[in-house]
Structure 1
Amino acid sequence: MTGGRRATRWRPGSGRSPSALEDELVLVTSDGEYRCSVAIFAVGMTEPWVPPIPGLELGMHYVHVSSAPDRYEDRRVVIVGKRNSAFEVGEAIVRSGLRELTLVSPRPPDLARLARSPLRPWYLTPYDEHVRGAPGRYVLNASVEKIERRGQEFLLHALDPTRPESVVVEVDDVVAATGFRAPLQDLPELGVTTVLDGRLPALTPFWESVTVPGVYFAGNVTQAAQGLRKHGVASVSSMVCGFRYNARILARHVAETVFGIRLGRPRIEPANVVPYLLGELTRAPELTMQKGYLARVLGIDAEAGIRNLGILPLEVFVDGSHDGVAATLEFDADETIRPVVYMRRRGVLNETALPPHPLRRYEDAEYGEPLDALVRPLLPS
């Protein structure tokens, strides 16, 4: 897509078919213009992003780091950043014979709670060498003030809150491991509000722009819809193992709310509710991967009975109003994985965490009996 513009707006729920109105969006591409009522942008976070630190533009973004085995031999390298990509780059180049490696950013690496951290242990060789005092391996918890060029080297000035003066690091190479942003192009000009320094669109739980109805996002951009983040645990919507399930939910949501294609809501007999939920907690990949973010939801109504509403964002059920039950898996405050059941009866929401299981198997009486006691008051007689 090279650009876009808005035409007459059609709003879902207006009672008028989108085909009866002028298209909502005009997408301008190298292959011509495409008009549509709803647009889903699966554009990824593909543009390198560098924060406005004076002089950081003199270095290179980590996407351009060379893989040549001798590129960093006997050189001093500083990496700005201490999240997963910074340590991944450090792990890769530390084996190339470099003289010094320094990682610097304000916050310390989050190692105490790995379930909440973006770090992966197999990239932590630079940190391990730092804490053991290996020569030429440093991890600084400091803010980068500026970067200056001095001849063939760089001077990085960092502000350490525990020291009265700046820390100056002399290096040969500066790498910005500062992440990416979504290529939104002119969408902000059309009214799409952004977050995270303009790197991501602000999204509803169903991954729709909060300010421009009909503009949706798929792929790793869906991480902008953060969910409940209980105990600080984020979704894995930044990775394919997470956003693949978001995409299925989004397709169903658009089909029903925009195009009026009503998909089935299978009825479940009261006697089957507990076995069904325990089976989902044990085997459903959506719940296993998107812990505390996606849930299996059953709607319960005196007239309609018990209906399977499918896999939905947990936030949608928690912030909703209809009676029912949502089953999910979550990390607790100690990073133990537990089944958690949310129930709403007569408008009152309650949540109950069930005991953990060492093999995450929940289809026995240890779980069946307490779950039956929880949901029975909800079930039609």
Structure 2
Amino acid sequence: MPLDYLIIGAGPAGLQLAALLQRDGRDYLVLEAGPTPGTFFTTYPRHRQLISINKIWTGSEDPEFNLRADWNSLLTDDPALLFKNYSRRYFPHADDLLRYLADFAHGLQVRYDTRVTRVARDGDVFTVCTGEDTLTAHRVVVATGVSQLYVPPIEGIALAERYDTVSVDPDDFTNQRVLIIGKGNSAFETADALVETAAVIHVAGPHSIKLAWQSHYVGHLRAVNNNFLDTYQLKSQNAVLDGTVERITRRDDGGYRIDFRYARTVESTRHLDYDRIILCTGFRFDASIFDPSARPRLVHNDRFPEQNSAYESVNVPGLHFAGTLTQQRDFKRSTSGFIHGFRYGVRALHRILTVRHHDSPWPSTPLENTPEAIADALITRLNRTSALWQQFAVLGDVVTVSGDTARYHEEVPVDYLHDGGLGPAPFAVVATLEYGPDHDQVDPFDITIPRIAENDAEHAHDASYLHPVIRVHRGGRLVAEHHLAENLENHWDLPAVHHQPLVLFLKGVLSDAD
């Protein structure tokens, strides 16, 4: 008999989904190519320091609130399986995550050293082949992450060393000229590691550096990896090159020459010489295992599978995705590419699968249908939820109203709601946490730029910092919107500033709910 669920990959996302399925007594199996959970993290990051924070002390004893500052724990009811029990470091060592995942996987249905070689689909059944076995399943969930290094189409690129295999011993680069292609965290992680030994380091790419503290996208360059920028701007023989590497050739003396076209000048192609060239251009999804009958459509230069709001392939029904692959849905805008974001996406996927295949509605609680009760419920949740905090603008709490009945649904993907996931166009009050539309254009350290005053309820809609947004939908159409004023401590519960304006807003919209 086919399995109900076959999960490919025992990384954090695959384990998170497996734990939820096991809790509910579902029929599932996880296949993992490596000998242990989280095989990706046995190699990456190469210099072994994670950039996912582990902030243990928050001043709160609320486990839900504390997950806002815990970017490594998976969702669990077992307090022993919180990452703070595995490391006290703010930026932990990757080996600590491996220990954590091994303990989390204990008791789950995982088959290790089992590499999937082919996935095909016939009707509503998938056939999954491994080196030693053939399995069938009604639904396949791919949680393999972006496991292949992305190699840009540059002539001579095979002459470059790769991030996944290059030496991590700085002494191997003593007094050498090094070019690093790429401007993301892996590129600057590598550059920082070579600052003490290399003679010259150039980091090159066609796009401007985007800093996470300004964009609020944690996949952009993090401060923990940007010490190299000091060595550039303070004239220490290093540089960031804005432009395109068009060709790499080998020099007669054993070094390399590149043809480089600058992005910001009219200068024609320039020739630059290096002893070593390292490729740090990010990762992509490996779609090679898919038969044409089950091959998902790819997007973003074929780096990610295209998905609908149920984290499902847009062209292969029953083929779902979990984990960092789901960042296609909020590409470079929110946190689905990272544990602290996709753990909630996996929980949402689990609920979607339960709604679809196990005749169970989205979990909800009844609520008194009054403006005061709904405002109280929303403000209470907004001040402690970790899911909406981490998956800003992606997940929302939804209050549906029908007649005298109101129900509170937590952590619904906003796009899934709009696609009818909670039923055909309900009257819905949707609460999200969001930054302002131009938040990434504002330098948060420039005191000459005017900002909305803290707790300014009248101008809350102009705020650029993270704050609650309440939207009301009726018949599939947005009919009203209300912003809660931003607050330095992220406390959106002041009676006159937050609660009373929200009650007044809800009184106006609920009168149209019948």
Query: TM-score, normalised to structure 2's length?
Result: 0.66
Query: Are 2:231 and 1:101 aligned?
Result: no
The AA in structure 2 aligned to 1:211 is N
Q: 1:347 to 1:7 in 2, by over 3 A?
A: closer
The partner residue of 2:270 within 128, 147, 167 is 167
Query: Are 2:123 and 1:8 aligned?
Result: yes
Find the counterpart in structure 1 of residue 502 from structure 2. 371
Q: 1:133 to 1:36 in 2, by over 3 A?
A: same
Structure 1 residue 157 displacement after superposition:
1.2
Q: How does 1:194-343 map to 2 (within 5 A)?
A: 194-226=298-330, 234-270=333-369, 271-302=372-403, 305-318=405-418, 321-332=425-436, 333-334=438-439, 335-343=464-472
Q: 1:318 to 1:369 in 2, by over 3 A?
A: farther
Find the counterpart in structure 1 of residue 283 from structure 2. 180
The partner residue of 1:133 within 217, 235, 238 is 235
The partner residue of 2:129 within 2, 8, 28 is 28
SS in 2 for 1:185: coil
The AA in structure 1 aligned to 2:181 is V
Contact 1:343–1:375 (8 Å) recurs in 2: no
Structure 1 residue 272 displacement after superposition:
2.4
Distance 2:375 2:318 in 1: 37
Unaligned runs of 5+ in 1: 10-23, 228-232
Distance 1:206 1:126 in 2: 40
Q: 1:223 to 1:171 in 2, by over 3 A?
A: same
Query: Are 2:454 and 1:352 aligned?
Result: no
Contact 1:324–1:378 (8 Å) recurs in 2: no
Structure 1 residue 298 displacement after superposition:
1.5
Distance 1:348 1:198 in 2: 33
Find the counterpart in structure 2 of residue 88 from structure 1. 189
For residues 235-293 of structure 1, what are the alpha-carbon distances to aligned partners after superposition, in whole Å with 9 as ceiling and x for unaligned? Answer: 11111010001000001101111332345432111342111111221110001111111
Distance 2:184 2:477 in 1: 40
SS in 1 for 2:389: helix
Contact 1:256–1:263 (8 Å) recurs in 2: yes
Distance 1:116 1:47 in 2: 22
Distance 2:283 2:306 in 1: 16
Contact 1:75–1:172 (8 Å) recurs in 2: yes
For residues 332-367 of structure 1, what are the alpha-carbon distances to aligned partners after superposition, in whole Å with 9 as ceiling and x for unaligned? Answer: 123411111111135431332221000001122111
The AA in structure 1 aligned to 2:301 is D
Distance 1:113 1:262 in 2: 39
For residues 5-62 of structure 1, what are the alpha-carbon distances to aligned partners after superposition, in whole Å with 9 as ceiling and x for unaligned? Answer: 21123xxxxxxxxxxxxxx111112341111111111111111121111111211221
Structure 1 residue 2 displacement after superposition:
1.1
Distance 2:375 2:280 in 1: 47
Structure 1 residue 178 displacement after superposition:
0.8
Q: 1:213 to 1:319 in 2, by over 3 A?
A: closer
Unaligned runs of 5+ in 2: 1-115, 440-463
Contact 1:39–1:214 (8 Å) recurs in 2: yes
For residues 163-184 of structure 1, what are the alpha-carbon distances to aligned partners after superposition, in whole Å with 9 as ceiling and x for unaligned? Answer: 3321222111111111111222
SS in 2 for 1:140: strand
Report the number of matched residues.
359
The AA in structure 2 aligned to 1:342 is R
Structure 1 residue 142 displacement after superposition:
0.5
Structure 1 vs Structure 2 CA RMSD: 2.0
Contact 1:275–1:363 (8 Å) recurs in 2: no
Identity rate of aligned residues, in percent?
27
Distance 2:305 2:120 in 1: 17
Contact 1:298–1:326 (8 Å) recurs in 2: yes
Query: TM-score, normalised to structure 1's length?
Result: 0.89
Contact 1:324–1:344 (8 Å) recurs in 2: yes
Structure 1 residue 116 displacement after superposition:
4.2
Structure 1 residue 187 displacement after superposition:
2.5
Contact 2:217–2:334 (8 Å) recurs in 1: no
SS in 2 for 1:130: helix
Find the counterpart in structure 2 of residue 230 from structure 1. none
Contact 1:110–1:119 (8 Å) recurs in 2: yes
Distance 2:360 2:131 in 1: 32
Q: 1:239 to 1:347 in 2, by over 3 A?
A: closer
Find the counterpart in structure 1 of residue 250 from structure 2. 149
Contact 1:84–1:120 (8 Å) recurs in 2: yes
Q: 1:71 to 1:289 in 2, by over 3 A?
A: same
The AA in structure 2 aligned to 1:171 is Y
Distance 1:224 1:59 in 2: 28
